[in-house]
Structure 1
Amino acid sequence: MKVMRILAGLAGAALMGVGVSLLSDAGDVTGVLLWLGGALLLHDAVIAPLVLVVGLLLVRGAGRGPVRGALVVAGALTVVALPVLLRPGPTANSSVLPLDYPRNWLLALGAVATVTALLTAARGFVRRRRPPSP
Protein backbone atom coordinates (compact mmCIF):
# COMPACT_ATOMS: atom_id res chain seq x y z
CA MET A 1 0.00 0.00 0.00
CA LYS A 2 2.85 2.36 0.80
CA VAL A 3 4.35 1.83 -2.67
CA MET A 4 1.03 2.74 -4.30
CA ARG A 5 0.82 5.94 -2.27
CA ILE A 6 4.33 6.92 -3.28
CA LEU A 7 3.59 6.17 -6.96
CA ALA A 8 0.33 8.11 -6.80
CA GLY A 9 2.14 11.05 -5.19
CA LEU A 10 4.85 11.01 -7.84
CA ALA A 11 2.26 10.83 -10.62
CA GLY A 12 0.37 13.74 -9.07
CA ALA A 13 3.54 15.81 -8.76
CA ALA A 14 4.44 15.05 -12.38
CA LEU A 15 0.98 16.11 -13.56
CA MET A 16 1.19 19.31 -11.53
CA GLY A 17 4.52 20.00 -13.24
CA VAL A 18 2.87 19.52 -16.62
CA GLY A 19 0.10 21.91 -15.56
CA VAL A 20 2.58 24.56 -14.44
CA SER A 21 4.50 24.27 -17.71
CA LEU A 22 1.29 24.63 -19.70
CA LEU A 23 0.26 27.59 -17.55
CA SER A 24 3.57 29.30 -18.21
CA ASP A 25 2.95 28.96 -21.97
CA ALA A 26 -0.49 30.58 -21.68
CA GLY A 27 -0.71 34.19 -22.71
CA ASP A 28 -3.24 35.43 -20.15
CA VAL A 29 -2.33 33.86 -16.81
CA THR A 30 -4.62 36.23 -14.90
CA GLY A 31 -7.77 34.70 -16.38
CA VAL A 32 -6.61 31.18 -15.59
CA LEU A 33 -5.71 32.08 -12.01
CA LEU A 34 -9.06 33.85 -11.57
CA TRP A 35 -10.88 30.75 -12.85
CA LEU A 36 -8.87 28.47 -10.54
CA GLY A 37 -9.56 30.74 -7.57
CA GLY A 38 -13.28 30.77 -8.40
CA ALA A 39 -13.34 26.99 -8.68
CA LEU A 40 -11.58 26.65 -5.33
CA LEU A 41 -13.97 29.09 -3.68
CA LEU A 42 -17.01 27.37 -5.21
CA HIS A 43 -15.82 23.98 -4.00
CA ASP A 44 -14.78 24.98 -0.49
CA ALA A 45 -17.57 27.46 0.25
CA VAL A 46 -20.53 25.87 -1.53
CA ILE A 47 -20.16 22.31 -2.82
CA ALA A 48 -18.30 20.60 0.03
CA PRO A 49 -20.45 22.03 2.87
CA LEU A 50 -23.62 21.32 0.88
CA VAL A 51 -22.61 17.68 0.31
CA LEU A 52 -21.78 17.23 4.00
CA VAL A 53 -25.01 18.81 5.23
CA VAL A 54 -27.24 16.95 2.77
CA GLY A 55 -25.50 13.67 3.60
CA LEU A 56 -25.95 14.38 7.29
CA LEU A 57 -29.64 15.26 6.94
CA LEU A 58 -30.65 12.54 4.50
CA VAL A 59 -29.01 9.43 5.87
CA ARG A 60 -28.08 8.04 9.23
CA GLY A 61 -25.70 5.16 9.88
CA ALA A 62 -23.90 3.00 7.35
CA GLY A 63 -25.48 4.54 4.24
CA ARG A 64 -24.05 7.99 4.83
CA GLY A 65 -20.75 7.30 3.04
CA PRO A 66 -22.27 6.02 -0.23
CA VAL A 67 -24.80 8.86 -0.28
CA ARG A 68 -22.08 11.47 0.16
CA GLY A 69 -20.04 9.75 -2.55
CA ALA A 70 -23.04 9.79 -4.86
CA LEU A 71 -23.58 13.49 -4.16
CA VAL A 72 -19.96 14.21 -5.05
CA VAL A 73 -20.28 12.23 -8.30
CA ALA A 74 -23.59 13.94 -9.13
CA GLY A 75 -22.01 17.33 -8.50
CA ALA A 76 -19.06 16.51 -10.75
CA LEU A 77 -21.40 15.29 -13.50
CA THR A 78 -23.41 18.47 -13.20
CA VAL A 79 -20.35 20.72 -13.35
CA VAL A 80 -19.09 18.90 -16.43
CA ALA A 81 -22.53 19.07 -18.08
CA LEU A 82 -23.21 22.74 -17.28
CA PRO A 83 -21.87 24.17 -20.57
CA VAL A 84 -24.23 22.09 -22.69
CA LEU A 85 -27.11 22.33 -20.21
CA LEU A 86 -26.92 26.13 -20.21
CA ARG A 87 -26.29 26.55 -23.92
CA PRO A 88 -28.23 29.40 -25.48
CA GLY A 89 -30.54 27.18 -27.56
CA PRO A 90 -30.44 25.65 -31.01
CA THR A 91 -27.26 26.38 -32.95
CA ALA A 92 -26.99 27.15 -36.64
CA ASN A 93 -25.03 23.92 -37.14
CA SER A 94 -27.07 20.99 -35.80
CA SER A 95 -24.01 18.72 -35.69
CA VAL A 96 -22.24 20.83 -33.07
CA LEU A 97 -24.22 19.38 -30.14
CA PRO A 98 -26.27 16.62 -31.79
CA LEU A 99 -27.40 14.68 -28.70
CA ASP A 100 -30.07 15.27 -26.08
CA TYR A 101 -27.65 16.31 -23.34
CA PRO A 102 -30.17 17.14 -20.61
CA ARG A 103 -31.73 13.68 -20.99
CA ASN A 104 -28.32 11.98 -20.95
CA TRP A 105 -27.34 13.97 -17.85
CA LEU A 106 -30.53 12.86 -16.10
CA LEU A 107 -29.86 9.25 -17.12
CA ALA A 108 -26.34 9.47 -15.66
CA LEU A 109 -27.73 10.92 -12.42
CA GLY A 110 -30.31 8.13 -12.35
CA ALA A 111 -27.56 5.55 -12.77
CA VAL A 112 -25.61 7.09 -9.89
CA ALA A 113 -28.74 7.05 -7.69
CA THR A 114 -29.51 3.43 -8.64
CA VAL A 115 -25.99 2.21 -7.90
CA THR A 116 -26.02 4.09 -4.59
CA ALA A 117 -29.38 2.62 -3.59
CA LEU A 118 -28.21 -0.90 -4.49
CA LEU A 119 -24.95 -0.45 -2.60
CA THR A 120 -26.72 0.88 0.48
CA ALA A 121 -29.27 -1.95 0.37
CA ALA A 122 -26.52 -4.54 -0.02
CA ARG A 123 -24.64 -3.10 2.95
CA GLY A 124 -27.77 -3.21 5.06
CA PHE A 125 -28.49 -6.79 3.98
CA VAL A 126 -24.95 -7.92 4.83
CA ARG A 127 -25.08 -6.22 8.22
CA ARG A 128 -28.37 -7.93 9.10
CA ARG A 129 -27.13 -11.37 8.01
CA ARG A 130 -23.82 -11.10 9.85
CA PRO A 131 -23.94 -12.90 13.20
CA PRO A 132 -23.27 -10.71 16.24
CA SER A 133 -19.64 -10.67 17.30
CA PRO A 134 -18.88 -11.96 20.83
Structure 2
Amino acid sequence: MFIGIGLSGVVAHSRPGGWAVWVGGGVVAHDALLTPAVLVAGTLLRRWRRLRFGMFVAGVLALVALPMVLGYGRHPDNPSILPSNYLLNLVVAVALVMGAVAVPWRWVGRVLGSGFRRAAGRSGGDRKGRG
Protein backbone atom coordinates (compact mmCIF):
# COMPACT_ATOMS: atom_id res chain seq x y z
CA MET A 1 0.00 0.00 0.00
CA PHE A 2 2.75 2.46 0.95
CA ILE A 3 4.70 1.62 -2.18
CA GLY A 4 1.63 2.48 -4.26
CA ILE A 5 1.23 5.80 -2.45
CA GLY A 6 4.89 6.61 -3.04
CA LEU A 7 4.73 5.66 -6.72
CA SER A 8 1.59 7.74 -7.22
CA GLY A 9 3.44 10.71 -5.73
CA VAL A 10 6.39 10.15 -8.06
CA VAL A 11 4.09 9.99 -11.08
CA ALA A 12 2.06 13.04 -10.01
CA HIS A 13 4.95 15.31 -9.04
CA SER A 14 7.78 14.39 -11.37
CA ARG A 15 8.55 13.33 -14.89
CA PRO A 16 8.24 9.53 -15.07
CA GLY A 17 9.90 9.54 -18.50
CA GLY A 18 13.00 11.10 -16.97
CA TRP A 19 13.06 8.45 -14.25
CA ALA A 20 12.68 5.70 -16.85
CA VAL A 21 15.60 7.08 -18.86
CA TRP A 22 17.71 7.36 -15.71
CA VAL A 23 17.00 3.78 -14.58
CA GLY A 24 17.37 2.42 -18.12
CA GLY A 25 20.63 4.32 -18.54
CA GLY A 26 21.92 2.81 -15.31
CA VAL A 27 21.12 -0.69 -16.54
CA VAL A 28 22.77 -0.06 -19.91
CA ALA A 29 25.84 1.55 -18.30
CA HIS A 30 26.20 -1.38 -15.93
CA ASP A 31 25.77 -4.12 -18.54
CA ALA A 32 27.59 -2.47 -21.44
CA LEU A 33 30.40 -0.58 -19.68
CA LEU A 34 30.98 -1.49 -16.06
CA THR A 35 30.70 -5.29 -16.21
CA PRO A 36 33.08 -5.76 -19.16
CA ALA A 37 35.58 -3.32 -17.62
CA VAL A 38 35.54 -5.19 -14.30
CA LEU A 39 35.91 -8.55 -16.04
CA VAL A 40 38.86 -7.35 -18.13
CA ALA A 41 40.56 -5.74 -15.11
CA GLY A 42 40.00 -8.87 -13.03
CA THR A 43 41.49 -11.03 -15.75
CA LEU A 44 44.53 -8.80 -16.24
CA LEU A 45 45.12 -8.42 -12.50
CA ARG A 46 44.43 -12.04 -11.60
CA ARG A 47 47.68 -12.44 -9.64
CA TRP A 48 47.52 -9.18 -7.69
CA ARG A 49 44.61 -9.57 -5.28
CA ARG A 50 45.45 -6.48 -3.25
CA LEU A 51 45.54 -4.31 -6.35
CA ARG A 52 42.19 -5.72 -7.49
CA PHE A 53 40.73 -4.95 -4.07
CA GLY A 54 42.11 -1.41 -4.19
CA MET A 55 40.69 -0.84 -7.65
CA PHE A 56 37.31 -2.14 -6.48
CA VAL A 57 37.26 0.22 -3.50
CA ALA A 58 38.45 3.12 -5.68
CA GLY A 59 35.67 2.37 -8.17
CA VAL A 60 33.03 2.37 -5.45
CA LEU A 61 34.41 5.65 -4.09
CA ALA A 62 34.29 7.16 -7.58
CA LEU A 63 30.70 6.02 -8.12
CA VAL A 64 29.61 7.49 -4.79
CA ALA A 65 31.49 10.76 -5.35
CA LEU A 66 30.57 11.22 -9.02
CA PRO A 67 27.41 13.34 -8.45
CA MET A 68 29.34 15.67 -6.15
CA VAL A 69 32.34 15.86 -8.49
CA LEU A 70 30.01 16.78 -11.36
CA GLY A 71 28.22 19.33 -9.15
CA TYR A 72 24.70 17.92 -9.38
CA GLY A 73 22.48 19.88 -7.02
CA ARG A 74 24.74 22.92 -6.84
CA HIS A 75 22.85 26.22 -6.96
CA PRO A 76 24.52 29.58 -7.62
CA ASP A 77 22.21 31.33 -5.13
CA ASN A 78 23.27 29.01 -2.26
CA PRO A 79 27.06 28.55 -2.07
CA SER A 80 26.77 26.28 1.00
CA ILE A 81 25.49 23.43 -1.18
CA LEU A 82 28.47 21.32 -2.28
CA PRO A 83 31.09 23.83 -1.05
CA SER A 84 34.20 21.61 -1.26
CA ASN A 85 36.56 20.63 -4.03
CA TYR A 86 35.18 17.11 -4.44
CA LEU A 87 37.49 16.11 -7.29
CA LEU A 88 40.53 16.79 -5.10
CA ASN A 89 38.90 14.92 -2.20
CA LEU A 90 38.24 11.93 -4.46
CA VAL A 91 41.83 11.91 -5.73
CA VAL A 92 43.14 12.02 -2.14
CA ALA A 93 40.80 9.22 -1.02
CA VAL A 94 41.78 7.00 -3.96
CA ALA A 95 45.48 7.72 -3.33
CA LEU A 96 45.08 6.73 0.33
CA VAL A 97 43.31 3.50 -0.64
CA MET A 98 45.96 2.59 -3.19
CA GLY A 99 48.71 3.47 -0.70
CA ALA A 100 47.12 1.20 1.90
CA VAL A 101 46.89 -1.56 -0.70
CA ALA A 102 50.57 -1.15 -1.58
CA VAL A 103 51.77 -1.71 2.00
CA PRO A 104 52.83 -5.30 2.68
CA TRP A 105 50.64 -5.68 5.77
CA ARG A 106 51.88 -9.18 6.64
CA TRP A 107 55.41 -7.84 6.90
CA VAL A 108 54.25 -4.85 8.97
CA GLY A 109 52.33 -7.16 11.28
CA ARG A 110 55.33 -9.42 11.69
CA VAL A 111 57.67 -6.51 12.47
CA LEU A 112 55.25 -4.82 14.85
CA GLY A 113 54.25 -8.13 16.42
CA SER A 114 57.83 -9.09 17.19
CA GLY A 115 58.41 -5.68 18.74
CA PHE A 116 55.33 -6.07 20.91
CA ARG A 117 56.39 -9.58 21.99
CA ARG A 118 59.86 -8.35 22.97
CA ALA A 119 58.38 -5.43 24.88
CA ALA A 120 56.11 -7.82 26.77
CA GLY A 121 59.09 -9.92 27.85
CA ARG A 122 58.49 -12.87 25.54
CA SER A 123 61.09 -14.16 23.13
CA GLY A 124 61.14 -12.63 19.67
CA GLY A 125 60.39 -14.62 16.56
CA ASP A 126 57.46 -16.56 15.30
CA ARG A 127 56.13 -20.00 16.17
CA LYS A 128 58.20 -21.79 13.55
CA GLY A 129 61.47 -20.64 15.09
CA ARG A 130 62.64 -18.54 12.14
CA GLY A 131 63.41 -15.36 14.00
The two structures share one fold, judged by TM-score above 0.5: yes
Q: CA RMSD in A?
A: 3.6
Q: Is the alpha carbon distance of 1:122 and 1:83 closer, same or farther for their aligned partners in structure 2, counting shifts above 3 Å?
A: same
Please give the alpha-carbon distance, in whole angstroms, between the structure 1 residues aligned to 2:100 and 2:4: 37
Q: How many pairs align?
A: 107
Q: Does 1:31 align with 2:18?
A: yes
Percent identity of the aligned residues? Answer: 35
Q: CA deviation at 1:105?
A: 0.8
Q: CA deviation at 1:77?
A: 2.0
CA distance in 2, matches of 1:83, 1:103: 14
Instruction: Name 2:52's counterpart in structure 1.
Output: 68
Q: Give, in angstroms, the shift of residue 32 of structure 1.
A: 1.8
Q: Residue 100 and residue 44 in structure 1: after superposition, are their counterparts in 2 closer, same or farther (change >3 A)?
A: same
Q: CA deviation at 1:33?
A: 2.4
Distance 1:124 1:18, change over 3 A: farther
Structure 1 residues 115 and 20, CA gap change in structure 2 (3 angstroms): farther
Q: Of 85, 92, 98, which residue of structure 2 is paired with 1:107?
A: 92
Uncovered stretches (5+) of structure 2, i.e. residues with no partner:
110-125
Give me the TM-score of the superposition, normalised by structure 1.
0.57
Question: What are the residue-to-residue correspondences of 1:84-123 with 2, within 5 Å?
Answer: 84-87=68-71, 91-118=76-103, 121-122=104-105
| Greater helix proportion | 1
Structure 1 pair 55/125, CA: closer, same or farther in 2 (3 Å)? Answer: farther
**Runs of 5+ in structure 1 lacking a partner?**
1-16
Return the TM-score normalized by structure 2: 0.58
Partner Cα distance (2:31, 2:106) in 1: 30
Q: Which has the larger radius of gyration?
A: 2
Q: Which residue of 1 aligns with 2:114?
A: none
Q: Give 3-state SS (helix, strand or coil) of 1:26's partner.
A: helix
User: How many Å separate the matches in 2 of 1:101 and 1:37?
Assistant: 27
Output the CA distance in 1 between the equivalents of 2:5 and 2:87: 36
Q: Give the drift of 1:45.
A: 1.2
Hey, what's the Cα distance between the residues in 2 that align with 1:80 and 1:19? 26
- Could you say which structure has the greater relative contact order, defined with CA pairs below 8 angstroms and 6 or more residues apart? 1
